[in-house]
Amino acid sequence: MKKQLSCIDCAVKSCQKGDGRYPDFCVTTHLDPQTLKDALTCYEEEENHRATLAAASVEYEHYCQYTRVEEIMDFARRIGAKKLGIATCVGLLAESRTLAAIFREHGFEVFGVCCKAGAVPKTELGIDEKCSAVGKAACNPILQAKVLNEAKTDLNVVVGLCVGHDSLFYKYSDALVTTAVTKDRVLGHNPVAALYTANSYYGKLLGKEGESI
């Protein structure tokens, strides 16, 4: 398969530096001008404009000072969000309860819905019976989104939804979504640890299984 080079293969990051020394395959220099124009036009839409300014201010004013939880609250305040939705994994309800307590302590209204809400058996969604071995009830991210849409939350926060279930939640949420916790059952919800160790102890992901460090 032909390997198409892109930003993930770039070592110079000139788009960030502004030094104009772009690589031959640079995504910036190969952009369709209309694609760039379309993207910039989207930022003019009111919600997008507000979120863009808010995100930039959160980053600038609290760079390396605020935890993600603090950043979420600051972002929420800046976009005028008063009611926060939490779309949580049932296995992280305790953590979501703590998150909700922090949000409430800081003046937000909070409504949460867990992935198993609706109590729908997996088999009803056409999921193979064997998958019930790790739990009979289906994760129901579309329901989570619809419940939060009905609750008219201003900003939704994902806490540990499974891969793919998070995708469906993002797709159906009316409100903007940010993620507080990214599920990784093996790495304590810190998936980047697999990347930090991919060239050493976790080399099996790069086909280096068995090589000693």
In whole angstroms, how close is the CB of 77 to ligand SF4 at the nearest point? 32
Which CB atom, from 12 or from 53, has the smaller least distance to ligand SF4? 12
Structure token digits, residue 91: 């296995």
User: What's CA 69's distance to the chain center, in Å?
Assistant: 13
Binding stretches for ligand SF4 (CB under 6 A) = 7, 10, 12-15, 22-23, 26-28
Hunting for tokens 């019976």 — which residue is that? 129
Q: What are the backbone dihedrals phi and psi of residue 119, each rounded to the nearest 5 degrees, phi first?
A: 45, 45
In whole angstroms, how close is the CB of 28 to ligand SF4 at the nearest point? 4
Please provide the distance, in angstroms rounded to a whole number, between the alpha carbons at the two ends of the chain: 31
Which CB atom, from 7 or from 42, has the smaller least distance to ligand SF4? 7
Which CB atom, from 13 or from 185, has the smaller least distance to ligand SF4? 13
The residue number whose beta carbon is nearest to ligand SF4 equals 10
Q: Are strands 155-159 and 109-114 parallel, antiparallel or unpaired?
A: unpaired
In whole angstroms, how close is the CB of 211 to ligand SF4 at the nearest point? 30
In whole angstroms, how close is the CB of 123 to ligand SF4 at the nearest point? 45
* Bridge partner residues of 109 (DSSP): 83
161/139 Cα distance (integer angstroms): 9
Q: Which of 213, 190, 189, 191 is nearest to 201 (CA)?
A: 213
In whole angstroms, how close is the CB of 36 to ligand SF4 at the nearest point? 12
Asked if residue 85 lies in contact with residue 155, where contact means CB atoms within 8 angstroms, the answer is: yes
Instruction: Please report, as a single letter, which amino acid is at residue 90.
Output: V
Which CB atom, from 28 or from 48, has the smaller least distance to ligand SF4? 28
Which CB atom, from 34 or from 65, has the smaller least distance to ligand SF4? 34
